[in-house]
Structure 1
């Protein structure tokens, strides 16, 4: 599909970076009345004239007012605005961007422009004000729209569709053909029953699941990277964490109980599979059940010849001692994790440079005895020895932690 890479670094406006992309979308407020850096200006203009696409959106027309080359590239410049609710008029219904498009009503800033070029094709007007236009410069295509101040506009599917059309037109026929050849899936809705936390009411409709192959087409990866399918349903279900052993095998933590089906006694329906590629084709073809009857495991880390894993209120140690790749040791290292809110428990197990295991905890917190010492804490980073003999709380964080990384210093 359309893969996006986000940056706020203007130094990325150089040909070594720009040439890695089919198009550049600019949305930001930079140096409203100042000139653009000469080297960055030259790089952007030459990129477009050599065939690159350029899509300045909304406030991009207010940038670099001291740069005639930039204003010309956009096709005009922001002058002033008020605000209101309006619907624009499509004045070029046969243009590829507008063909079959009906527009939408939205609140937005009512931009007025000046320093307009004469080589623009106007696509939409707000009253008599040019609102959306296209132009060509050298071999490249430029699309501009004044839409887009905040989420009252950005949340609208019709605005997404306008941008999608603009991107596909501006990148040119060769790139469009590649996108068409992917045969992207159509996203459909279906009836379902899910807990709704945001509005505190049951969700009754959601996206119909895609097959792994179709879902892969919509995955986003950094520019220059590729993505391929290693394992999927029915071999693994609801993966929540992955860690790799010294043989390159993936230990995949799967949970069907998270977040709403916490089972009593830390004995649940969750499991860990070893996923192995035995023929070197980059896909798992051997699946071994390493451990099961787990309760909402959220993270795992290798230590002492086995696997330390979270399991409900416990931190446990799993180990295979007879070589069949199935854990026959299941030892509780310590206990005390509160499971009152399963979203806010322990996670992010990491083997530290100091041979301690580091982890994070959310607001559900911990209260228990480790190594003969009482501990009580929540919302922070802690560490413990791999044998569970000692634990230290290190520092608080602001909320439930999404990730944890360490360096040698």
Structure 2
């Protein structure tokens, strides 16, 4: 009997250690991404002479929102056909070289997580935006796995804290902000309903001078991110909880939305219109 009890206890201990290890690996991947090699070879791209070019960059080294990434591609392709845009979709960082990047009117970090480009490529992207280019980020592009001060300061304006756990997805109203730019919100109702994984940031990007386009009432969701041994993530952003914002950066522009965890967002006509408007806004005033 004692032998059986000892076997059971050892089995439980092994399971606990293995489970703890797996949880640790998952947390590390979400927060830092796994180390990868960085692509440096410039791709061959045939840029049409008469179309604004959009770089749809979907590389991930952290948590991969694969469902959303795959759902986004046909939607953005259709928007490109409708608006006479050229879209180059890739997960290869070699495109972040000065000569090629300058040919794009807009770069989209499409749920990109982790450190996806090297330091030299980061500097190229920073210079591209400050000299008149545009950078957009969708959902996972706003988590804390990027470890890039310029990116956090100029695209996000705030540091990611957590997202709700129980439940992870919550339906609430998306609200037009009083300072919203009509070119970014054209054709979108003042109030529309959506279910998503609502990101919580430590600070409100409004405090850093970002122009808020849409919010949710943070008091209508359960923002707690507590799970297992995490017990200090039971807070939210309060009533004023931005979910889409933008800002001029140097001669360029940035736009970010925390909406878009899964494919449901790409079925929502109002979210799609927001992405279309944002792409038009990033291109406005460019030759």
- C-alpha separation in 1, matches of 2:268 and 2:192: 8
Contact 1:96-1:169 at 8 Å conserved across structures: yes
Name 1:50's counterpart in structure 2. Answer: 131
Contact 1:27-1:57 at 8 Å conserved across structures: yes
Contact 2:163-2:198 at 8 Å conserved across structures: yes
Q: Specify which structure has the bigger relative contact order, considering alpha-carbon pairs within 8 angstroms and separated by 6 or more residues.
A: 2
User: How far has the Cα of 1:9 moved from its partner?
Assistant: 1.3
User: How far has the Cα of 1:95 moved from its partner?
Assistant: 3.4
Secondary structure of the corresponding residue to residue 105 of structure 1: strand
- C-alpha separation in 2, matches of 1:110 and 1:67: 22
Name 2:208's counterpart in structure 1. Answer: 118
Contact 1:87-1:126 at 8 Å conserved across structures: yes
Q: Which runs of 5+ in 1 are unaligned?
A: 176-409
TM-score normalised over the length of structure 2: 0.55
Count of aligned positions: 173
1:108 equivalent to 2:221? Answer no
C-alpha offsets along residues 245-300 of structure 1, whole Å, 9 cap, x if unaligned?
xxxxxxxxxxxxxxxxxxxxxxxxxxxxxxxxxxxxxxxxxxxxxxxxxxxxxxxx
Contact 1:26-1:60 at 8 Å conserved across structures: yes
* 1:127-206 aligned within 5 A: 127=217, 128-175=240-287
Name 1:90's counterpart in structure 2. Answer: 176
- C-alpha separation in 2, matches of 1:94 and 1:9: 33
Q: Which has the larger radius of gyration?
A: 1
- C-alpha separation in 2, matches of 1:162 and 1:27: 14
Contact 1:64-1:71 at 8 Å conserved across structures: no
Name 1:39's counterpart in structure 2. Answer: 120
User: How far has the Cα of 1:94 moved from its partner?
Assistant: 4.7
- C-alpha separation in 2, matches of 1:19 and 1:66: 24
Contact 1:141-1:171 at 8 Å conserved across structures: no
Relative to its length, the structure with more helix (as a share) is 2
Secondary structure of the corresponding residue to residue 163 of structure 1: helix
Contact 1:135-1:142 at 8 Å conserved across structures: yes
Q: Say if 1:154 and 1:140 are closer, same or farther in 2 by CA, change over 3 A.
A: same
- C-alpha separation in 1, matches of 2:145 and 2:195: 26
Relative to its length, the structure with more strand (as a share) is 1
Contact 1:108-1:148 at 8 Å conserved across structures: yes
Contact 1:49-1:140 at 8 Å conserved across structures: yes
* 1:268-279 aligned within 5 A: none
User: How far has the Cα of 1:6 moved from its partner?
Assistant: 0.6
C-alpha offsets along residues 320-345 of structure 1, whole Å, 9 cap, x if unaligned?
xxxxxxxxxxxxxxxxxxxxxxxxxx
User: How far has the Cα of 1:63 moved from its partner?
Assistant: 5.5
Contact 2:144-2:161 at 8 Å conserved across structures: no
Contact 2:187-2:273 at 8 Å conserved across structures: no
